[in-house]
Structure 1
Amino acid sequence: MVQPAAQPDALPSGPTPAEATAPTRRRRWFLLPLVVGGIVVAGVLLWRLRQPPAADIVPLSGRLEGYPTKVDVKVAGQIDVLLAREGDQVEVGQVLARLDEAELQAQVAGARARLQGAQEQEQQARSQLTVIASQIRAANLAQTQAEGDSQGGLAQAQAQLATAEAQMAQAQAQLQESRGQLRLAAADRDRLTSLYQAGAISGQQYDQVTTRLATAQEIVHSREATLQAMEQQVSAAAGALTQAQSRMLTPAIRGTQVDTLQQQLMVANAQLAQAQAEVASARATLEETEARLGNLTVTSPITGIVLTRSAEPGTVVNPGSTLFTLLDPDQVFLRGFIPQAQLAQVRVGQPARVYLDAAPDTPLDATVRAIDTQASFTPENIYFQDDRVRQVFGVELAITDPAGYAKPGMSADAAIVLETREP
């Protein structure tokens, strides 16, 4: 019988693969909780480093809001064109809409015509005022001249009458003297006639007496004529005096003319004032209409984004109608609520941090801008202490720099810093 060949000595047997991997798995399962715990601890520490101590903050949650700006029309009219839609970015001063200007253009033309007519009336009133003022100056000069002429003429007429009366009195005296000489000459002739007839005197002596009588008669006749002429001169001088006295009324008549012109001047001044008021009214109407014409172009008051467009071309709008609602993305705030118990710790102006859900690792600096004066979510009547505990107050945090990604409507958390955390 054949014996099997002898086998060489086998190598020492070692652990199988399954037996070799078992301790390794056990060690891995043992290290996994340590790794996870380390990650959690590191995350908590990192979060704590980024946050103020819990005792130094007042946490709150809310949503971001903006300050909407309404773009209204100032005049009534029909929309001609709208140049922006929802979501458009607009700049301050950018034209957003235009209203139809046909009606206002007609009103502007009418206002200009009215202004021109009022200015022409004002010019006419000024011209009339100038004419009346010139007439008053002429009337004043005429009155002054009339006063001088009347006074001088009266004095002259009185002097002429006095002279004529003196000359007449002299002529009367001379006539009386001549008549006396005539009577004497006649008496001499009568006495010498009988002597001449008796031959007591010569013919020469009688002729001399006769000649003296004839001469005396001629002198009487001459002086009677002179007296008659003097009487006529006195009558003429009296008439001139009467005329001079009547001319004394001329200054009063001139004064009446001046008074009449003064009244006309007052009326002209009133007409000028009325014309000037009409010019001012017409100019104001024109400026108002031109301003309304300028208001037909609607521009953006801010740089921002169009949230809503409330009208379409062809719509007839009234003053105050809203065409657009704009939002400035750089003016964003967080609206949130804090419990009544923490209200005493919060003041306007305190610093805060806002954490956006979209960027929780990038806090935004903010400031407490406003705190509601009345509680929210409060029952109408409070009967129990628990009701007072549930009261909250609204708080607004103004974000200093939205950084371009803080948008209205986004949810966010925040922490109001009560005191500065030491580094």
Structure 2
Amino acid sequence: MKSKKPIIIVALVALIAAGLGGWYWYKSQQDQGLTLYGNVDIRTVNLSFRVGGRLAALQVDEGDAIKAGETLGELDQGPYQNALLQAQANASAAQAKFDLIIAGYRDEEIAQAAAQVNQAQAAFDYAQNFYQRQQGLWARRVISANELENARSSSDQAKATLKAARDKLSQYRTGNRPQEIAQAQASLQQAKAQLAQAQLDLQDTTLIAPSDGTLLTRAVEPGTMLNAGSTVFTLSLTRPVWVRAYVNEVSLNQAKPGTELLVYTD
């Protein structure tokens, strides 16, 4: 009976050779890398002015490469410069009024108000005495009822004038009321807000590129009257660039985050 050892040895050698061959084939397939096919996503931005007006100039055209911060176009700034000057004047007036209310009244104004009280007091005393004399004459029927009524009216008017003068003097001595100060402060804040808005509107008459890219379309020409938000350019962003590709299930183990890739475009 022949021995079976040579047959077993040959079988083991063949099995080992087949395993090594399979391992080398798998390794060679791994070293070839992964080839994917997909599309480059084009991301676009519609550029416009935040304010309306007449388009004065455009500095770029379709196909131009744009850098972030570059000036692309300008509106007529005349109306917005005028609005800024008006807002500055209103803010200055509101500030002066607020400062005046906070400072209160000067000694000269208080003295003048006190003199007006004295003058009104003298006028009232005279009118009151005259009215009392007229009452005596009326009792003896020396004067008419109309003359008595005129004297009474003059006395009442002098009394009202005296009260107004006293109230004014009291206001000057105590200063402005908290409500008046709060109102002046609110008016000042409103004027400052309008000034800030006018400054922003003037700044927005210049169109600035938000990021790097390439101009795809130029929608308007200089001289056009634009509404706020009307599209002037369409910008294709160049950074970052996204590639949309699909990996089959067999190759998922090769799609690892952070892997460097070579991108070829047609």
> Which TM-score band (shorter chain)?
0.5 to 0.7
**Letter of the structure 2 residue corresponding to residue 295 of structure 1:** D
Separation (CA, whole Å) in 1 of partners of 2:254 and 2:217? 35
**Letter of the structure 1 residue corresponding to residue 87 of structure 2:** A
**Letter of the structure 2 residue corresponding to residue 301 of structure 1:** P
The residue aligned with 2:134 is none
Separation (CA, whole Å) in 2 of partners of 1:95 and 1:296? 11
Cα shift at 1:302: 2.3
Separation (CA, whole Å) in 2 of partners of 1:273 and 1:355? 66
The residue aligned with 2:142 is none
Using structure 2 for the length normalisation, give the TM-score.
0.56
The residue aligned with 1:115 is 91
For the 8 Å contact 2:212–2:239, the answer to whether it is kept is no
The alignment status of 1:351 with 2:255, answered yes or no, reads no
Separation (CA, whole Å) in 1 of partners of 2:233 and 2:253? 40
Separation (CA, whole Å) in 2 of partners of 1:345 and 1:317? 54
Structure possessing the higher radius of gyration over alpha carbons: 1
Q: Relative to structure 1, is the Cα distance of residues 332 and 100 closer, same or farther in structure 2, using a 3 angstrom cutoff?
A: same
The alignment status of 1:276 with 2:185, answered yes or no, reads yes
For the 8 Å contact 1:125–1:268, the answer to whether it is kept is no
1:331 to 240, 246, 249: 240
Query: Larger relative contact order (C-alpha < 8 A, sep ≥ 6)?
Result: 2
For the 8 Å contact 1:306–1:325, the answer to whether it is kept is yes
Structure 1 or 2: larger strand share? Answer: 1
Cα shift at 1:350: 4.5
Cα shift at 1:347: 5.9
Q: Relative to structure 1, is the Cα distance of residues 351 and 273 closer, same or farther in structure 2, using a 3 angstrom cutoff?
A: same
The alignment status of 1:308 with 2:210, answered yes or no, reads no
Cα shift at 1:111: 1.3
**Letter of the structure 2 residue corresponding to residue 294 of structure 1:** Q
Cα shift at 1:79: 1.4
For the 8 Å contact 2:39–2:245, the answer to whether it is kept is yes
Separation (CA, whole Å) in 1 of partners of 2:65 and 2:250? 40
Q: Relative to structure 1, is the Cα distance of residues 292 and 284 closer, same or farther in structure 2, using a 3 angstrom cutoff?
A: same
Cα shift at 1:348: 6.7
**Letter of the structure 1 residue corresponding to residue 69 of structure 2:** G
Cα shift at 1:333: 2.8
Q: Deviations over 1:256-310 (max 9, x none)?
A: x9xx947974744432332222122112211211111011011222233222222
The residue aligned with 2:204 is 295
1:74 to 50, 59, 84: 50
Q: Helix, strand or coil: the match of 1:349?
A: coil
The residue aligned with 2:76 is 100
Q: Deviations over 1:112-143 (max 9, x none)?
A: 2222321232233234x2448x97xxxxxxxx
The residue aligned with 1:125 is 101
RMSD across aligned C-alpha pairs, in angstroms?
3.6
**After the TM superposition, which residues 99-248 of structure 1 pair with which residues of structure 2 at under 5 Å, given as runs?**
99-127=75-103, 129-131=104-106
Q: Helix, strand or coil: the match of 1:331?
A: coil
Separation (CA, whole Å) in 2 of partners of 1:355 and 1:273? 66
**Letter of the structure 1 residue corresponding to residue 262 of structure 2:** V
Separation (CA, whole Å) in 2 of partners of 1:98 and 1:69? 18
Q: Helix, strand or coil: the match of 1:87?
A: coil
Cα shift at 1:90: 2.5
Separation (CA, whole Å) in 2 of partners of 1:353 and 1:344? 15
Structure 2 gap ranges (5+): 1-26, 111-165
Separation (CA, whole Å) in 2 of partners of 1:264 and 1:270? 17
